[in-house]
Amino acid sequence: VYVFYLIPASCLLSPYHTSFVLQKEEVEDNTDANMEGALIARDRVGVQDFVLLDSHTSETSFLNNLRKRYQENLIYTYIGTLLVSVNPYKELDIYTVTQMQLYRGVNFFELPPHLYAIADNAYRVMCSEYNNHFILISGESGAGKTEASKKILQYYAVTCPTTEQLQIVRDRLLLSNPVLEAFGNAKTLRNDNSSRFGKYMDIQFDFKGAPVGGHILSYLIEKSRVVHQNHGERNFHIFYQLLEGGDKDLLCWLGLERNPQKYAYLIQGRCAKVFSINDKNDWKIVRKAFSIIDFTEKDLEHLFGIVASVLHLGNIQFEEDSNGHAIIRNGTQIKWISKVSFPSQVVLVLQVLSPLNVDLAFYARDAVAKAIYGRTFTWLVNKINGSLANKDSTRKTVIGLLDIYGFEVLDTNSFEQFCINYCNEKLQQLLIEMTLKAEQEEYELEGIEWEPIPYFNNKIICDLVEQKHKGIISILDEECLRPGEATDLSFLEKLEEKVGDHAHFVTRKLADQKTRKSIDWVDFRLLHYAGEVTYFAKLNKLFSMSSQVATQFKNSLMSLIEILMSKEPSYVRCIKPNENKEPGKFDDFLIRHQVKYLGLMEHLRVRRAGFAYRRKYELFLQRYKSLCPATWPHWHGPAAEGVERLIKHLGYKPEEYKLGRTKIFIRFPKTLFATEDAFEIRKHLLGMLEACWRGALARKEAKKRTWAVQIIRKFINGFINRKKPLCPENIEFVRLVQYKYFMKLRDHVPKNVLDKSWLRPPSILEETSEMLKKICIRNLVRKYCRGVTAERKVQLQQKVVASAVFRGKKEGYLQSINQPFADTRLSEYTPNLLKGLCQMLTPAPCFQYATPVVKYDRNGFKARERLLVLTQSSAYVVEMAKIKQKIDYATLKGNGVNWCGAFLPISDPLTLPLLCFQGDVILHCEHIFEVVSKLCMLANKQNLVKVVQGR
């Protein structure tokens, strides 16, 4: 016996991911649509994955789970990766941009079931693995297939990366829908916007994941609706939109009136006006869509002309002449058809080349109208494809959307129902095959032995319909093309002859006594995977001209299956909860019927034939590790070993689980639920301990907050009284301000005497700051002075002398400030030169300085290279150890040394550093400031130098 406790629904529902997810937005909004994250009982909202149903073979259990969720506005439920969607017939706040962003990039089973999860999973896998996908959306009319397709397109439009150029492609993809709906959708008894054609759309993505193009394939548009509608139904939307929304000039040119009651093809259902449909607004949307998807005015002129031609064609009336042939007496409609470019020769063929009676003439008129509309729809789809085509030849990945009619069982099942149900047989076969393939591949990947899964293989039914030479379609081809007149009875006889022994085929003749009463003489019955369907086989009404259509449909369906087989699948099964479109009403009989013909139980059995639950070791261990002392609170070994230790402690039996390479597989939902319940009990106990611990932490935190409030109040009071003398009210605030300033000043003290910056103090520390600034500067000066060497001191003294002489008087002095003065340049010259000089001088002098110069002769100003040597008492001009001039410092007068050169006949002499002794010796010296300062210091005469103004 398993007792079910209150547990998070999102924790126990996924066979692949049972993480405890509680979205913040879901809690805050507290809306019915977001109940998945709340703490609620399993028996209230059911499980969000049918795979976890204990009685997975019971339709009653299936319906009960679906009903529970539907009553809580939970319209989505998984079967593995298949999504079951129930039409709510009301607006739910689950399709917002916020919801789109919530599901964007999230693991498939991490959030509650949603259409966005299907779309996002296909997109992410496509981008990561660079392969193609398709999403198959099926269900009967009114179940919400078209809306689901729209929501997926909108999701990609919002969440995919795009540019300004790609925005055009995105708009065209979105706006192709209203155009196709206008020409391909109609009001039926089941749905006010029922798609009367099958549609497959490829959305093309570039390597960045941006939508760059698309392509549409259409299947089996219901052309019979053009000429006939049942009571309570309408023709295709475009006719009513044109009459209601088209401007006056357009209608005048087309020869149309606004009143749909004027046209025979629009009033047979006696439902031209529908409360839920605004044809005028829809016309505006369609017109805007045409401009976006690149239709020219000429294209629209031809298109609307053909639409008008169909209406005029329906108003043509025939009368019988004397020979029993049909004739047209009123040619008004013919004239309008001719005016709007409908080929009038077609009508002439009906009257002149093939004389018909009145009944056959009306039949031929309707056949022409259906053919025209069918070809127009094909042209329209091709035109839209041209607009969506991407011209870039680089490889694209695609996500296909297949919005296809569901299996249908009507009171009278026509040839169209035969094609629709055949299509669903093929798609059911594809679904089962691909599901089995996916299951088998996962088992093989995990190293688990594959056990054959029993299921009904409907290939036998597909072969009954499509097999060459023996299938129903081939027999129909043969019967319609053989010489002589084909009749319904001859067709039935041929079927009985060739497929009469088939287990899924029955006619009145072949049936037993009990079944025979429910089959007419012109009927045959097929036992589809979804149930028995009786088809009306009268050739002259339902199967006339159907031979080629059936073959073409079969070929196009085979082509579609090939397209789908090359892609990775995702499935959406749409269910209509009631016939009256009432919110909240759950019709068990109707839904049970849909569950059967959608193959949901079959799919569930395939999913459950193996294992109901599988999950990676790391995630399983992380969630349930608290249930085993060996794994709690931490397991330090491999995750697989930890899981094995955990399940042995829990008492799992060998038949309940398998261990794969990376995942644990649990066969029965009850095993998982028991584990989940045990986890909830443990979590409850841990929750009590956690509550105590959190209480202690909360009290500690409250104490800290109380202390903080007191401190804040104290410092606010101190700030108010900060300018008063120190007192109990402000002392702590003042001390804090002082401390903060001094700590900050510590990191901003000037590092040298040239740095004049100082941290600005608060007003209460201005005096203290000024005192500290003076002390700091004095300390920096003292530190600097103590660090100056004797050699450096002499250099600085020379700088002082040079500054006194040249500062503000000679351009170029400022550039020399950063250049250090050399005490002597003796080391730069040959020692032998000075040694020879010492031998010529007695007593031998003490050389203080030497530098190369250029001497200019007074006569002719010839340049000669010399060496200027300074001693303690004299200056010498030397050449090759020969003394050329000697200047004694004692003979120099205050104005005897001139910085002069204005009289020299050389180019711009003021640019040359010239030194003139008594007007007799003129020297060009590169280090002029250094030489002059050294000379002044040696001669001990600070006023020897006269500076000539200029450069």
340 phi/psi in degrees, rounded to 5: -90, 25
* Cα 409 to Cα 413, 417, 422, 602, distances in angstroms: 7, 8, 12, 19
Q: Which of 77, 149, 194, 534 is catalytic?
A: 194
Which of 195, 458, 671, 730 is labelled catalytic?
195
Burial string for 713-735 (b: 16+ CB within 10 Å, else e) reads eeeeebeebeeeeeeeebeebbe
What is the three-class DSSP state of 2? coil
The answer on whether 490 is annotated among ligand-binding residues is: no
Strands 914-917 and 921-925, how do they pair? antiparallel
Flag whether 144 is marked binding. Answer: yes
List residues bridging with 534 in a β-sheet. Answer: 525
At residue 913, the 3 state secondary structure works out as coil
Is 210 labelled a binding residue?
Answer: no
Q: Compute the distance between CA of residue 159 and CA of residue 175 in angstroms, rounded to an integer.
A: 17
Task: List Cβ neighbours of 816 (8 Å cut-off, separation of 6 or more).
Answer: 802, 929
Q: 279-292 and 164-184 are packed helices; what angle lies between their axes, rounded to 10 degrees?
A: 140
The b-or-e profile of 259-274 (16+ CB within 10 A means b, else e) is: ebeebebbbbbebbee
Classify 653 in phi/psi space as left (phi over 0), alpha (psi -120 to 50) or beta.
beta
Cβ contacts of residue 705 below 8 Å, gap of 6+?
none
- Spatial CA neighbour of 722 closest among 744, 738, 740: 738
Query: Which one from 245, 406, 599, 901 is the annotated catalytic residue?
Result: 406
Is 110 among the annotated ligand-binding positions?
A: no
Q: Alpha-carbon distance 694 to 672, whole Å?
A: 31
Strand 82-86 to 568-575 pairing: parallel
8-state DSSP, 843: S
Containing H/E element for 199?
Answer: strand 198-205
Structure tokens at 756: 């004049």
Q: Would the annotation count 143 as a binding residue?
A: yes
Percent helix, strand, coil in the chain (nearest 5)? 50, 15, 35
Instruction: Indicate which residue of 146, 507, 871, 874 is catalytic.
Output: 146
Largest CA distance in the chain: 163
Instruction: Round to whole Å and give the CA distance between 923 and 912.
Output: 10
**What are the start-end ranges of the H helices in 841-919?**
none
In the set 37, 46, 80, 142, the catalytic residue is 142
Is the preceding peptide bond at 843 cis, omega within 30 degrees of 0? yes
Alpha helices in 293-353 (DSSP H): 297-314, 332-339, 345-348
Distance CA 669, CA 340 (A): 67
Tokens of 171: 């708009």
Q: 18, 177, 191, 933: which is the annotated catalytic residue?
A: 191
**Annotated catalytic, 515?**
no
Which among 882, 881, 880, 886 is positioned nearest to 921, based on CA atoms? 886
Active site residue 36: no
Q: Are strands 505-507 and 133-139 parallel, antiparallel or unpaired?
A: unpaired
Tokens of 768: 């203290």
Query: Does 656 show up as a binding residue in the annotation?
Result: no
- Please work out, in degrees rounded to the nearest 5, the angle formed at the alpha carbon of residue 571 by the alpha carbons of 569 and 573: 165
The one catalytic residue among 36, 408, 439, 466: 408
Mark whether 474 is an active-site residue: no
695 as an active site residue: the answer is no
Q: Taking Cα atoms as reference points, which of 175, 133, 130 lies closest to residue 150?
A: 175
User: Is residue 382 annotated as a catalytic residue, yes or no?
Assistant: no
Residue with tokens 């019915």: 32
Residue in 141, 218, 387, 421 annotated catalytic: 141
Residue 406 known to be catalytic: yes
Which amino acid, one-letter code, is at 501?
A: D
Name the token pair of 280: 């005028």
Q: What angle do CA 735, 741, 742 make, to 5 degrees?
A: 90
Has 141 been annotated as catalytic?
yes
Task: Establish whether 408 is a catalytic residue.
Answer: yes
Residue 145 annotated as part of some ligand binding site: yes
Beta bridge partners of 139: 405
Joined together, the tokens standing for residue 946 give 């006269």
- For residues 553 and 563, give the distance between their C-alpha atoms in angstroms, rounded to a whole number: 15
Judge whether 140 is annotated as a binding position: yes
Q: What is d(CA 172, CA 300) in angstroms, rounded to the nearest whole number?
A: 17
Please list the active-site residues.
141-142, 146, 191, 194-195, 406, 408
Query: Which residue ranges are tagged as binding site?
Result: 139-146
Query: Which residue ranges are tagged as binding site for ATP?
Result: 139-146
